[in-house]
Structure 1
Amino acid sequence: MNSTRRTFLETSIAAGMAAGIAAPLAFAVEPKAKLPVAGITTTYGPNNHADVIFTKIVSGYEHDGGPGPDLKLTSLFVEQEHPRDLSRGLSEKHGFRLARSIDEALTLGSDDLAVSGVLIVGEHGNYPNDPVTGQKMYPRRRLFDEVVKTFKRVGKVVPVFNDKHLSYNWPDAEHMAKTAREMKFPFMAGSSLPVAWRLPPLVLERECQIEEALAIGYSSLESYGFHAVEVLQCMVERRRGGETGVRRIEVVKRDAIWAAQKAGRWSRELFDAALATTPEEKKGEPEKLLDSRAAFYLIEYRDGLRATVAMANGVTRNSSFAAKLKGQPKPVATWFAVQNEAPFGHFGYLLKAIEQMVRTGRPAYPVERTLLTTGIINAAMKSYATSQPIETPYLDIAYQPADWPSAPGKPS
């Protein structure tokens, strides 16, 4: 990114924050030629991830025909037809091709790539659950491998984005990251939460000294738990030395949550600080409000950092973060705010990150973040299922953070 564009981004974001408004186009300098992309998805229905990503490409950030990303959805492969399918109507209206295979989506039936990027959205649909962890077995690796098969057939590659975590299991996730590295194509993945609004605005300085950290999440322990893990990781990766990987994960539930707190294994001070940033929480003591779905993920990093993901069901329906920084008497904390109804504007900021990669060939942030968070959530689900800690020597993943901005202002 050149210095002029970087200055514009920083100025736009600062202005948006000062004004306290959401600015869907704050990242755009000027309209550019739209780059063609192929969409690969499991199913496409109202308000699912295909809708909040692909509909923004064809119908604008607000889904109303207004401005959108400088991308053009050339083709779309849909594996399962949703009962309220949107793909057919949008194809007829906007002229993108409904492909019968992933190869066709990438090549439009030719022997060459017809797109500048590929977006894989393997979320939602009728798929079985893993018998051990209970995780939905979305076929993200299979979809990815079909994309790679086409790359090899035509002898070309383009950037690839994978929505949410890489897979429901570690070997598949490792395979995907390794394949992208070996074939030298840009690869990015992850949650929309790291680019969502932060209230109050909080960006930890690079090389900060974090003594302990905690992220709060809610709802289902795996699919929403992954968002909470990404909230944690996008913050703690900025600590001194950068990311080093994770050594051990243990999930505690019910009375063990409070026993762990009394034993000093997670910080009530950080929990209270994170919770205080979020609005409209239930009144009362968390000890009495946490319900049977609550679980806390106790994470030990390889460099000694201790962190917690508190899935605080019964207490909150918000995501937030807090950390104790060396030399500061009080925790720093922020709420990761999202737009909880259509058009789910935080996904617009995810699309800006995707567009950056498609246009420049440089991921907005490293895929190693999501490789690590994929491994964390998989180990957490194993620990939850077995009530045993999980040693994770394979999560020896080191990387440095990127400085991609989160959404300015606040959600409308």
Structure 2
Amino acid sequence: MDNRPKIAAITTIYHKYAHTQHIVDRFLEGYGWNSRHHYPPMDLVSLYVEQVKDNDISKDRLERFPTMKGYPTIAEALTLGGEELAVDGVLLIGEHGEYPSNDKGQRLYPRYEHFMEMVEVFQKSGRSVPVFLDKHLSWNWDWAQEMYDISQSMGFAFMAGSSLPVTWRTPSIDMPLGTSVSEGVCVGYGGVDSYDFHALETLQCMVERREGGESGVKWLQAYRGESFWTAHHEKLWSRELFESALSRSHTLTPSRPGFNNPFPTLDEMREIVKDPIAYQYEHNDGLKSTMILMNGLVQDFNFAAYIGSNQDILSTQMYLPMPPARTTLANFFSPLVNNIEKMFLSGEATYPVERTLLTTGLVAAGVDSLFDDEAKIDTPHLDIAYQATEDSTFWRT
């Protein structure tokens, strides 16, 4: 028992379908994995929950799992009530909860604040441990860069992001490592400063595998409403890739009553989608990427790209069946937790946190472009070059 890693969970809120439940419950209860029910070979020993509401389930978990203790502060959760760091890994889950929004519509989740409280304990203890942070690093770009820089200077394994890069794919294919890619498109759904991050991760986990690796991003421009349709008409992004991505969707809205499989015309899309959004950006090596949100038309995340010397199309869907409509388990969190486990056991990240740093910056740039009347935003700060891992981390099952 003593040689099992001890894990602390620092969270904003713990209720049904919150990310805390999806992640922490898997460390407590286990989860289905490769034809069996898998129990992580580690112990979740401490829990900090910032907001406890009427729908809270943390009290139930603390009662049913007495080896996990709740603490009133982040520092106490990390030191187990003592003076020094007493755990071997940290989960930072700052998603959901009642937090204010700024004028740009960004929800001010305290991921940076929680991270810095954790770092203070690391510094006082003279050591650090692996850390997983759920979703993008922060709503504030400067804070995100600081968080990354601290992880590098202190030398602890750091992973972040969502389930999109690690969930199932339909079809179960990957971007060939080292292939040339000239353009990529993701068609997804959701809101700004929320599901746009999922769509950007869908794009990035694929195009980062291209020849030369990721080179960073030089500019981004957002389009919304009528300007989106104008840009689509002017073919600022490939209509062929847009349609290829849509053809991977499992949730394409029927465009005519009594039919369930016709491909919608442009006029029909305009009737269905009231507020389309796109972020288009150019990478430093010339690759063009476009993230598109089509609320009302689809409820999944679909990718397409031109690859190789013949400009062949590679397309797939990152399969993310959301509860309670399509699943009871949100099993796309299982491969995410499995990768976190591997990091806690090995002390090494299974995929690069630079991906999340870049997509965090792309979300912020997209928000800024929309807020600034869809201005083109130069992004010299996103000169983030890195290499993808040789083995992709998506769930093959």
Aligned to 1:311: 293
CA contact (8 A) 1:289 1:314 kept: no
Question: Which one-letter code corresponds to 1:298 in the other structure?
Answer: Q
CA contact (8 A) 2:170 2:317 kept: yes
Question: Which one-letter code corresponds to 1:263 in the other structure?
Answer: E
The whole-number CA distance in structure 2 between the counterparts of 1:323 and 1:202 is: 13
Aligned counterpart in structure 2 of residue 127 of structure 1, from 99, 102, 109:
99
Aligned CA RMSD, in angstroms, stands at 1.8
Aligned to 2:364: 378
Displacement of 1:408: 1.6
* Cα deviation code 1:202-224 (max 9, x no counterpart): 21111110011001110212211
Aligned to 2:269: 289
- Pair 1:407 & 2:377 matched: no
Question: Which one-letter code corresponds to 1:363 in the other structure?
Answer: A
Question: Which one-letter code corresponds to 1:279 in the other structure?
Answer: H
Aligned to 1:112: 84
Question: Which one-letter code corresponds to 1:214 in the other structure?
Answer: V
Aligned to 2:10: 40
Aligned to 2:148: 177
Displacement of 1:62: 5.8
Aligned to 1:344: 330
Aligned counterpart in structure 1 of residue 377 of structure 2, from 382, 390, 406:
390
Aligned to 2:157: 186
Aligned counterpart in structure 2 of residue 322 of structure 1, from 294, 297, 304:
304
The whole-number CA distance in structure 2 between the counterparts of 1:165 and 1:307 is: 19
CA contact (8 A) 1:42 1:80 kept: yes
TM-score normalised according to structure 2 size: 0.91
Alpha-carbon spacing, 1:70–1:285, altered in 2? closer, same or farther (3 Å): farther
* Cα deviation code 1:177-228 (max 9, x no counterpart): 0001011111110011100111101211111100110011102122111000
Aligned counterpart in structure 2 of residue 359 of structure 1, from 331, 345, 356:
345
Question: Which one-letter code corresponds to 2:269 in the other structure?
Answer: L
Question: Which one-letter code corresponds to 2:366 in the other structure?
Answer: A
Alpha-carbon spacing, 1:351–1:33, altered in 2? closer, same or farther (3 Å): farther
Aligned to 2:70: 98
The whole-number CA distance in structure 2 between the counterparts of 1:147 and 1:179 is: 11
Aligned to 1:26: none
Aligned to 1:49: 19
The whole-number CA distance in structure 2 between the counterparts of 1:34 and 1:229 is: 36
Runs of 4+ with >6 A deviation: none
Q: What count of residue pairs does the alignment treat as equivalent?
A: 376
Aligned counterpart in structure 2 of residue 146 of structure 1, from 91, 97, 117:
117
Question: Which one-letter code corresponds to 2:233 in the other structure?
Answer: K
Aligned to 2:258: none
Moved more, 226-235 or 263-272: 263-272
> Equivalent residue of 1:231, what SS?
helix
Displacement of 1:258: 2.7
Question: Which one-letter code corresponds to 1:175 in the other structure?
Answer: E
Question: Which one-letter code corresponds to 2:12 in the other structure?
Answer: T
Question: Which one-letter code corresponds to 1:365 in the other structure?
Answer: Y
Aligned to 1:202: 173
Question: Which one-letter code corresponds to 1:147 in the other structure?
Answer: M
> Equivalent residue of 1:260, what SS?
helix
Aligned to 1:25: none
The whole-number CA distance in structure 2 between the counterparts of 1:406 and 1:264 is: 31
* Cα deviation code 1:231-290 (max 9, x no counterpart): 000001011111111111111122222322333310110011111112241232244325
The whole-number CA distance in structure 2 between the counterparts of 1:200 and 1:404 is: 15
Aligned to 2:260: none
Displacement of 1:33: 6.6
CA contact (8 A) 1:61 1:343 kept: no
TM-score normalised according to structure 1 size: 0.88
Question: Which one-letter code corresponds to 1:335 in the other structure?
Answer: Q
Gaps in structure 1 of 5+ consecutive residues? 1-31
CA contact (8 A) 2:180 2:307 kept: yes
* Cα deviation code 1:359-390 (max 9, x no counterpart): 11110111110000000001001111222111
> Equivalent residue of 2:305, what SS?
strand
